[in-house]
Amino acid sequence: MNYYKKAIRLSMAKSALIYKVLVTLSFILGISINSLAQGRKEIDFNQGWLFKKGAKDYEKGVSFVLEEWEEVTVPHTFNSEDMQLGKDFYTGDGFYQKEFTVADSLKERRLFLRFEGVGSVADVYVNGRFLGEHKGSYSAFAFEITHSVNFGQKNTLLVKTNNEAREDVLPVNHFLFPIYGGIYRPVSLIITDMVNIKVTDHASPGVFIRQKDVSAKQATIRVKAKLENTEKTFRHVLLRTEVKNADGKSVKVIEEPLSISPQGVTLGEQELIIKQPHLWKGVEDPYLYTLTTSLMDGDRVLDAVTQPLGIRSVEIKTGKGVFLNGKPYPMHGVTRHQDRWGYGNALNRSQHLEDMMLIKEIGATTIRLAHYQQAEDMYAIADSLGFLIWAEIPFVNTYTLEEAANAKQQMTELVRQNFNHPSIYIWGIHNEVYSKTEDEYVAVLSRELNDIAKTNDPDRPTVAVSGYGEMWRPANLSTDVQGMNRYYGWYEGKIGDMKQWVQGLEEEYPEHIVMLAEYGADGNMDQGAEKLPESRNPVSGKFFPENYQTETHIQQWAIIEDHPYITASYLWNMFEFAVPMWNRGGVNARNLKGLITFDRKRKKDSFYWYKANWNPEPMIHLANSRDNKRTEANTIIQLFTNLSSVELTVNGQKVTRELKGVNAHHKKFEVSLQGGNNIIVAVGQDDAGNVISDKMEWTLD
């Protein structure tokens, strides 16, 4: 027996001596037999966990087993601080333990544990019995525990987590973003009847909704349910699907008899016609129905699963853009990483919602959730707010030749787990991984991943991303859409070179669909420059003044706006995020390309630039207010606004020398400052006559 197995068994045997508080699920004991006989129960399993770090090398000792446990609540990560500070971060094992009691009354039921996200590899044990391993930090997984628990007694659940970079698990390194460790998303205990909708189909809902022939007159809704029967004989049930509107009123019900085999999986399929549907119209009107598929035995509900239903059609047209329900849809896009300062990636729903409301404030209509499957709350909130979502797997940055199986697993999980979200319009295959020929590993794997996405979901398009601006590269063109990351003015060339790039693609590849998957520049809010720096070092430089980032976005959004050939664009990034392997721009372990700081407390000038362009709410914003120590009297003041007319005054005097901006939202004024303090005020009125203003002070030395 190796040391690892000894460590696990010793942990089980010593647990009563190591800690004093035994956590039980008393709520199960309190549930009556009758109530448990009705349908599915999903119980919060996030409280009462115990945690301790492990050791990297079991062959050298297992002394960690005798260390004290600490009480924690899930979501939890053991990297909430160290990965945000630099290269000296912990990777290795983290152990989570929980004790619970299962009532005798549940012996005729099925029990499952569902983990929404564990970083990055999870081994799950119940009462010392190994249930299984899951590889990948970002997707959910579920194990049945019916036959591993002791009914009427206490049970011990142990989860061994590990966040070391591995060549066989995506992502394969910590270079572009950290792989946090721990049970960092919610856990639930699911209780079902012996006849049920499948729980362990890659942790999917087991119910899959497709839409056909969507219009304002009617829509065809097709439902497929994966059903299981663990009884000894066929079970004859009624398969019932009901659609309710946003007010909870039933608008359509279909019921059909179905026999569920005690062997394998039975597929139940139904089709509904919704007359005059209220369409899901993105941010304008994100109307949601609910769809519930139930297994009925007479009047008794054996099992039921409810899913969101946003009735809509999405089409991408070459050179014309994205069409939602047959109408052009503005693709004002941002990207988002899931971590934040002081929390790592162990975020709660209110934090996810805060991020989404900030994205709503800027006026975005679409989000690239990069570079991995994100929390289920994010997709649900996107459904309710109307964002179109680009969802992808973490096949990013590099490859090892050993990650193919895991990439295919994560691609399958991403699609099946999120299949029913109306907000998701495209599946992402990879980001910045390359081959030298079309026959090599990455190119072949890309085509295989595309096949998986298309087989599981024939209705949505797919996209892969290159870090080069060339269309014809070996790993390109394996998907329906070609994404390209372009950092002109930062990693290459000049800010304005984006124009030449897109014009070249327009001329040479007029029938290809291209999305600008990333663009932008770093900007440190605590660094300013009166003039834009003439040179930069984006890899090891320590001076990343905010106004360079601002100028990058001003110029490049104007180029994007003028070229509808770019089907959709996604600025990088909405929020600053941790990169433990970096030390750039005066802040260690940080990617400073975010428009909002890592703690979500400060918004950069670039945020207000996009808000002026995308959000119709009346606004004025004076740029460079933080760069308030000036050395030149004759200078230029910039402001961002969506008002038709704005007056600028300096020290009470109206400024009349206005220069041409890149578009109507960009105002530039030539001014002469006086020595000492200068009060700068911009004032305008909205259509209702309300006064809108902004103010700043510059000091001329």
For residues 447 and 546, give the distance between their C-alpha atoms in angstroms, rounded to a whole number.
40
pLDDT tops 90 at residue 593:
yes
pTM score, two decimals?
0.94
Q: How far is CA 185 from CA 137, 578, 642, in A?
A: 10, 18, 40
Q: What is the CATH number of domain 325-615?
A: 3.20.20.80
Token digits for 189?
A: 């205990």
What average pLDDT score do residues 450-474 get? 97
For residues 414 and 411, give the distance between their C-alpha atoms in angstroms, rounded to a whole number.
5
For residues 512 and 565, give the distance between their C-alpha atoms in angstroms, rounded to a whole number.
9
Pairing between strand 187-192 and 110-115? Answer: antiparallel
What average pLDDT score do residues 597-602 get? 98
- Phi/psi for 47 (5° steps) reads -100, 160
pLDDT tops 70 at residue 208:
yes
Contact between residue 689 and residue 682 where contact means Cβ atoms under 8 Å apart: no
Q: What confidence tens digit (pLDDT) does each residue in 67-116 have?
A: 789 999 999 999 999 999 999 999 999 999 999 999 999 999 999 999 99
Assign 448 a pLDDT band (cuts: 50, 70, 90).
very high
List, in order, residues 6 or more apart from 557 with CB less than 8 Å away.
571, 609, 610, 613, 662
Cα maximum dimension of the chain: 91
- Phi/psi for 697 (5° steps) reads -125, 130
What average pLDDT score do residues 367-388 get? 98
Instruction: Confirm whether 207-309 and 629-700 share one CATH topology.
Output: yes
List, in order, residues 6 or more apart from 188 with CB less than 8 Å away.
42, 43, 44, 45, 113, 114, 116
One of 2.60.120.260, 1.20.140.10, 2.40.50.140, 1.20.1250.20 is the CATH number of 3-190, namely 2.60.120.260
Contact between residue 606 and residue 549 where contact means Cβ atoms under 8 Å apart: yes
Phi-psi region of 541 (alpha: psi -120 to 50; beta: other; left: phi over 0): beta
Angle at 354 between CA 349 and CA 355, to 5 degrees: 100
For residues 651 and 695, give the distance between their C-alpha atoms in angstroms, rounded to a whole number.
11
What pLDDT is recorded for position 67? 77
Q: What confidence tens digit (pLDDT) does each residue in 627-661 have?
A: 999 999 999 999 999 999 999 999 999 999 999 99
pLDDT tops 90 at residue 293:
yes
- Nearest alpha carbon to residue 220 among 258, 269, 277, 267: 277
What pLDDT is recorded for position 533? 87
Q: Which amino acid type is present at position 251?
A: V
Length of the chain as a residue count: 701
What pLDDT is recorded for position 82? 96
Residue for token pair 């933080």: 626
What average pLDDT score do residues 389-395 get? 98
Token digits for 697?
A: 């002070």
pLDDT tops 90 at residue 64:
no
For residues 194 and 184, give the distance between their C-alpha atoms in angstroms, rounded to a whole number.
30
Domain boundaries, the chain: 3-190, 207-309, 325-615, 629-700
Q: Residue 691: count other Cβ atoms within 10 Å of its Cβ.
A: 9
Q: What confidence tens digit (pLDDT) does each residue in 502-536 have?
A: 999 999 999 999 999 999 999 999 999 998 888 89
Which residues of 104-234 form beta strands (DSSP E)? 110-115, 118-119, 121-126, 129-135, 141-144, 154-162, 182-183, 187-192, 195-197, 207-212, 218-229
List the single range of 51-55, 476-480, 641-645 with lowest mean pLDDT: 51-55
What pLDDT is recorded for position 55? 67
Token digits for 57?
A: 């090398």
What pLDDT is recorded for position 359? 98
List the single range of 180-184, 349-353, 379-383, 527-531 with lowest mean pLDDT: 527-531
Q: What is the DSSP letter of 47?
A: S
Tell me the fold of 629-700: Immunoglobulin-like (2.60.40)
What pLDDT is recorded for position 36? 45
Q: Which amino acid type is present at position 3?
A: Y
What pLDDT is recorded for position 261? 98
What pLDDT is recorded for position 534? 85
pLDDT tops 60 at residue 13:
no
What average pLDDT score do residues 534-552 get? 95
What pLDDT is recorded for position 639? 98
What pLDDT is recorded for position 21? 27
Q: What confidence tens digit (pLDDT) does each residue in 395-419 have?
A: 999 999 999 999 999 999 999 999 9
Q: Residue 190: count other Cβ atoms within 10 Å of its Cβ.
A: 20
pLDDT tops 60 at residue 689:
yes
What average pLDDT score do residues 555-578 get? 98
What average pLDDT score do residues 192-200 get? 98
HSE toward the beta carbon, residue 585, CA cutoff 13 A? 25
Token digits for 330?
A: 């503005």
pLDDT tops 90 at residue 30:
no
Q: What is the mean pLDDT of the chain?
A: 93
What pLDDT is recorded for position 56? 57
**Does residue 432 carry a catalytic annotation?**
yes
| Strand ranges of the sheet holding 321-324, from the earlier edge strand across to the other edge | 314-317, 321-324, 327-329
- Nearest alpha carbon to residue 613 among 528, 697, 681, 555: 555
CATH superfamily of 207-309: Immunoglobulins (2.60.40.10)
What pLDDT is recorded for position 61? 57
Of residues 57 and 542, more confidently modeled: 542
pLDDT tops 80 at residue 191:
yes
What pLDDT is recorded for position 39? 87
Percent of the chain with pLDDT over 90: 91
Of residues 99, 228, 413, 432, which has the active-site annotation? 432
What pLDDT is recorded for position 244? 98
